[in-house]
Chain A
Amino acid sequence: DTEVTQTPKHLVMGMTNKKSLKCEQHMGHRAMYWYKQKAKKPPELMFVYSYEKLSINESVPSRFSPECPNSSLLNLHLHALQPEDSALYLCASSHAGTFHTEAFFGQGTRLTVV
């Protein structure tokens, strides 16, 4: 199984809502990532978890809150988002503890904030 599964595929939320994005992998990867991608732009790294611990936070606003409950799951909790947060949110995973490893990406959640 070389899949990273993200749910939901699409999400529309109001600025006062609280929602969560979910990501799951069963490849035994101990590094997991959240990326944000705006239209016609490259993915931008948001968070990195390594061995279930947050290792990198790329100065992301606190309205985005990541969580890694176990080695297979990664969540992104959303609260009080702004319309400019509308984007494709991509989860990825890879082996940890090595420089030369490919990342496996999910299909993304397309988020619209209204």
Chain B
Amino acid sequence: SQQGEEDPQALSIQEGENATMNCSYKTSINNLQWYRQNSGRGLVHLILIRSNEREKHSGRLRVTLDTSKKSSSLLITASRAADTASYFCATDRRGSQGNLIFGKGTKLSVKP
């Protein structure tokens, strides 16, 4: 079963622009994570935000979490062509350790 729902499903931008992706989820969580996947291969962890945190930064990434709205956003600033990939949010099931449920994902295309 899927927990998170991302929007938009697809996003196309020019290099240098910012990309914002949103994720909504349904149940209580311990944390929310964002992963990146290139061309249907392995997923790479980007950032983890705990349920008691509201915002987190890592390089060009900024993640926010609103537990009252059960939603999160991922902002990639100054995008590059190499950022082209699918991005998934993932939540764990509260009371269940390290057991990730992935959202449907946003396919980001950054044009040079």
The range of chain A's interface size is 20 to 34
User: Could you tell me if A103 and B100 are in contact, using CB atoms closer than 8 angstroms?
Assistant: yes
The range of chain B's interface size is 20 to 34
Give the interface of B toward A (CB within 8 A): 2, 30-31, 33, 35, 40-45, 48, 50, 88, 92, 96-105
Q: Could you tell me the distance between the alpha carbons of A90 and B30 in the complex, rounded to whole angstroms?
A: 23
Q: Could you tell me the distance between the alpha carbons of A43 and B42 in the complex, rounded to whole angstroms?
A: 10
Minimum Cβ distance to chain B for residue A42 (Å) = 4
User: Could you tell me if B40 and A103 are in contact, using CB atoms closer than 8 angstroms?
Assistant: no
Minimum Cβ distance to chain B for residue A108 (Å) = 6
Q: Could you tell me the distance between the alpha carbons of A100 and B100 in the complex, rounded to whole angstroms?
A: 11
In the complex, 17 of the A-B residue pairs with CB atoms within 8 angstroms, ordered by the A residue number, are A4-B42, A33-B98, A33-B99, A42-B102, A42-B103, A43-B88, A44-B102, A48-B99, A56-B96, A90-B42, A99-B30, A99-B31, A99-B98, A103-B100, A105-B35, A105-B42, A108-B40
